[in-house]
Structure 1
């Protein structure tokens, strides 16, 4: 009788500035190479614009804005991580997407006290690399 492994949630690792981040894969629809969005008059702060992805309008936000980073410390944000949420599609602009990893069980997420940010959940140590665990879902769902 084999041991049934508990299904681990997966996360997508990306880079922005000097930090590495991981976001749960569950609500990520796809990762796109950067494409310049059409500007949206009167958009919320941090919104770069809209792109059409196979008939879905995707609101593109700067990852540097969501994570309170100085955009000058971020190189070209060359990828868009597209989230599919009940309130619509949102794209988060990041520098580079690196890999998909298995997320550890919840008890191994360490809280992060030096960065107060609603998107940041804590940190994860994966193969001796520190990742900041983020979830953009609530933030994007609350946008108009």
Structure 2
């Protein structure tokens, strides 16, 4: 039996369940349409103002190399508080917070070449894909 060392926030995107460490999550918002940013990079939906902080909203589908046509249009924005600033990740829905086990399975993920994917977690007969967006967001200009 593994011991929980951290908590994670569970969300849905493209028919799969994902989990991101809670340590960098500032809050979860209901979806609101961001203001477009001229010249923004691929994957940037726009910016929103959250209590005086400018939050760059990114498409979760872009971060995880998913087909946007297979995902719902609206849902939630997971706001991350990172040293590089505030970033919002657009997802279909947020389900819950759960414990992250100390060890995760990092095998069998060859089908998706993506630096955000860290491994998988089996919980209550459900498979969750462990993701970490911090490095990707910190690398944005």
The two structures have a TM-score, normalised by structure 2, of: 0.94
Q: Shift in Å at residue 109 of structure 1?
A: 2.9
Give CA-to-partner distance per residue, 1:65-86, whole Å, 9 cap, x none: 1000000000123100000000
CA RMSD of aligned residues (A): 1.1
SS at the partner of 1:69? Answer: coil
Matched, 1:109 2:100: no
Give CA-to-partner distance per residue, 1:16-52, whole Å, 9 cap, x none: 0110000000000000000010100110100000000
Of stretches 42-51 and 108-117 in structure 1, the one that deviates more from structure 2 is: 108-117
- The residue number in structure 2 matching 1:60 is 57
4+ aligned runs moved over 3 Å, structure 1: none
Matched, 1:95 2:110: no
Q: Which runs of 5+ in 1 are unaligned?
A: 1-5
Structure ranking higher in strand proportion: 2
- The residue number in structure 2 matching 1:3 is none
- The residue number in structure 1 matching 2:69 is 72
Q: Which runs of 5+ in 2 are unaligned?
A: none
Give CA-to-partner distance per residue, 1:97-116, whole Å, 9 cap, x none: 000000011x2333322111
* Separation in 2, partners of 1:76, 1:15: 12
* Separation in 2, partners of 1:137, 1:109: 20
- The residue number in structure 1 matching 2:46 is 49
